[in-house]
Structure formats: structure tokens, C-alpha cells
Structure 1
Amino acid sequence: MPSSEQVACSCPQGYVPAGMSCKRNVREGDDHGDSIEAATPVEPMEPFQSVAANLDNPDDVDLFSFHVTAGRIYRFTCHGLMAGYTPSCRVTLLGADGLELPGSVGTGSVSSYQSGVLATQGGTVYARVERYPSSSTFHPSYKYSLLDRGPDDFANTLTEATLVPVGTTVSGSIEPYGDLDVFALDAVAGRAYRLSCGGATSKCGMRVRGPGGELLYQSEMYEISKRDDTFDLRGMQEGRHTVELFVASAILFSNGIGDYTFSVADLEP
């Protein structure tokens, strides 16, 4: 009778045999893999949902993978469990080549750090969580979350500005970091208009331009006590004016993203 042969389990890169199946090749004592091949798959979560994790030593990194669809915005956040104004962890989004994903931007706020991207093509994206470089102490515990924020709500360029009729209010979101939402107003000579924006969690700012692209007004962004701004457009040239909306990023308690409202009111009787 032929001798029995042991069946070998063939596993993909980043995985190792585990009985008759395979498991991720994660270092003993580590909760998530240190490489793209051993990244933990995650799905978009509900708002305010998060999952607990640990960096088991100061040099540890945790890798996660998720699928993106072109034209949608994704945000991966790590919430460092510590007091103070500096996050204890940092997130970087990576492509399949292991390099920082083009178009992705990271920003930190009080005890959290997020990296977001408007996906230009579908595929797999990786999130790398590591200790925040400037943190003076090592805090191993953190929570992570992944949000699918949907498509960009408004155009980012002057040529594609969204027309806002006088007397209306629109709501939007600045995301990812560095995003602009651009609106247009067809002004009539001899009339005056009040432009107003208000941020839900961060300070909202405006950059107002005339029909020729000349800058008429720009918000001062250092007043952290105010989340709104108003500008009265008077004595202007007739024609299409544009308003670029943005969110403060270089002030305390603001991470450069957030929801807002924008309105145009006629000041004439």
C-alpha cells in the first residue's frame, strides 16, 4: 500500500498555515499586522462607531485595508486615548505599492488624527497607524474608525461654481482637508447682499471674488471663539461673483474639515 502523504496548505503572501486553512501572519502579541500583506480588512462604519486596538510597543505599526469606489470620500481616524491637545497616534493612507496615497491628506486635532481622500479610482487602500512622532509619551491604546463620506458635495473651482439664488441657504461639508466648496452669485448693480457662513464644529471662512477674479474679501481665521463669518457685498460691479468656502485648520480645536451652512440675503427693501 502506498504510504500516506501529508497535504501541504498553500497560503497567499502575508498568511501562514493554520491547520487546514490559513491565518494572517501577525507577530505574536500583536493585534494587527505590520505589513500590507498582513493588513486587517475593515468595512466602513456608522458615525461614532469605533474599534479598540493597541500598539504593543513604540515602534509598532498597525495596517488596515479597505475597498474604495471612485468619486467617494473616505476618512480613516485613530482616536488616541490620552488627555491633552496632541494625538497619540497618526494615520497615513497607502496605495498598493506601500507609498503614501496620492491626494490623501492627514490632519490632527485634540486626541485624534485622521487621513482622508477623494478616491480617483476604485481598488484597495491601506491605512497605517503608528505612534504620533512628537508625542512625549507612549500610549498604546487607541480606537480606529472608517467612514465613507460619499461623493464631494460641491465643485472646488471657480469655473464650476454652484449658483446660489438670493434668499436661500445651502448646507455642505469641507472634506477632505484642503477641500474648497465654491458658490456663485449673479449680482445686480445697485443692490447689496449679505453673505454668511457658519461652521458646525470648526470655524468657517469665505474668500469672495468679483467678476474678474479680483479678491474682494477674505475671512480672518485666527479668532477661535467664532465659527461664523459675514460679509456685506455693496457697490460692486454687476455680474457673477464667487465665494470659496473653507474651514480653519491652523488654530486650536480645528482639524480643517467640517460641516457648514452658507446663505445669500438681499439687503435692499
Structure 2
Amino acid sequence: MESIINAAFLGLVEGLTEFIPVSSTGHLIIVSEFLKLDHTKSDSFNIIIQLGAILAVVYLYRERFYDFFNWKKIQELPSLIKTKNPDRLNLIHIFVAIMPILMIGFVSRKWIKTYLFNTDVVVASLILVGILMIIVEKFKPMPTVHSLDKLTYKEALIIGLGQCFALIPGVSRSGATMLTGMLIKIDVKTSADFSFLISVPVIAAATIYEFIKVYGQFTSADLWQLLVGFGVSFIVAIMGIKGFLIVLKRLSITPFAIYRIFFGLFYYFFSR
């Protein structure tokens, strides 16, 4: 990393884009390319500062997380495993939803980082998924699930499988999970809330793994930059999530789809 300013800027981009369906990874790859940052360090830096963004989710959804880890509720989990239609969202939903991406991501992580972490893949994903978002928004079935507490384990698993497409840079994890949810008749707000909740263990696992792997590559100066990026990401993500939910309620996902397409085309034509 070249400077504290670059770190703060990357934290800003991460916080703004992590939880809206425009692909934070795609934006960070493009920004890192634009700033001409060292790819080895910048890719790892981008993954690590995501921790700030997921802590923003923990803060905003702290009542849900408190409920998840309430000892009395944890003791009830064995009896809920056999229940097809539980009466509330619980840790089993989260576990079922995150296992596919954790397994596939772990097996394919090296291949993905080697062959897919580039601007060509990001641009193609931004445009194609943006078009798909418009199509799904227009032709989606009428939602029948309007609350997190009405989700079934089967629906959580299907959303988790859809989340795996987000391993491709530029697709967007929140975009993949929200589109999947909308296609199985879950309303867009509930899909977004569930997407935020399952992001915490997924991104935390990726962040911790990456940090352990590359810790020795960072100097003391780099660690200060990590802290700056982390802090900016946390603060901006809180504002970003609140703003996103307001836009989602009023306009749904169409504005983000249009942004993806135009941003992808803009970068493609002006980076050549």
C-alpha cells in the first residue's frame, strides 16, 4: 500500500459497496488497478478491511445476534433441527446458508484468485448481472415470505447455493443472495436482511484466513493502514446499509442494476 490516503479511500469504497448489489470486490479490484497498487498486497488488504464492514452488520443487527447466541435459544437448537418450518430465524438457517460457499470457496480459492481477480472478469460480471437484476425485478414471482422468521431451512440452503456465484469477482454476494431470494418468492427487504446476516460468518472466515496467511508480508506501516481502512470501512458501512435499505424500500434493486451496467461500460471503454 502506498499511503494512508489510499487505505482510507479503499475503506470508503469497501464500506459503500460491500452490502449493496454492485460488488465490493469488483470495485476494489478496479480502484486498486486505477491507483496502481501492488496486487499481492492490495488483494489481501481488500479482503482484510472487509472485517470493518461486517462489524457494522453486527452493530446494526445486534438484537438478532444477541438472540442467536442467547444460551436458552442455543439449547433449543437440537429440537429445531427436525423442524421443517421453525417459528423463528436461528443459527441453523445461518449454518445451512453459509456451508456451500465456505466449502466451494475453500476448494477453489487459489484458482479464483489466480484466474478471476482481474478487471476483465469484473467488468463482464458487473454488466451481465446488472442485466439479470433488471430481468428478475421485472418478472419475479409474487413474494410470499415477508419476514426473516418465516424462512425455512430449505429456502436458506437455496439462498446459500445462490451465494456461491459471488465467488466470481464482480457478481456481488448481496446481489446473488437477493436475486436468489426474490426468485423463490422472498421479498426483497427480507432477502437483503438475510444476506447481511449470513455475510458475517462468510466474510469473517475469509478475512481471518487471509490475515493468517499474509500477516508476515505486512510491515508496521501497513498495519496502520489496515487499521485506517478498517475504521473507515466500519463507519461508512453503517451509513451505507441504512441508505441502501431506504432506497430498496422505495425503488427496489433497479437503480443498482443500472449503475452496474453503466459503471462496467464506462470502465471498459475508458480504461482501454
Common fold by TM > 0.5: no
The structure having more radius of gyration, on CA atoms, is: 1
User: Which has the larger share of strand?
Assistant: 1
Q: TM-score when scaled to structure 1? A: 0.22
Q: Which has the higher helix share?
A: 2
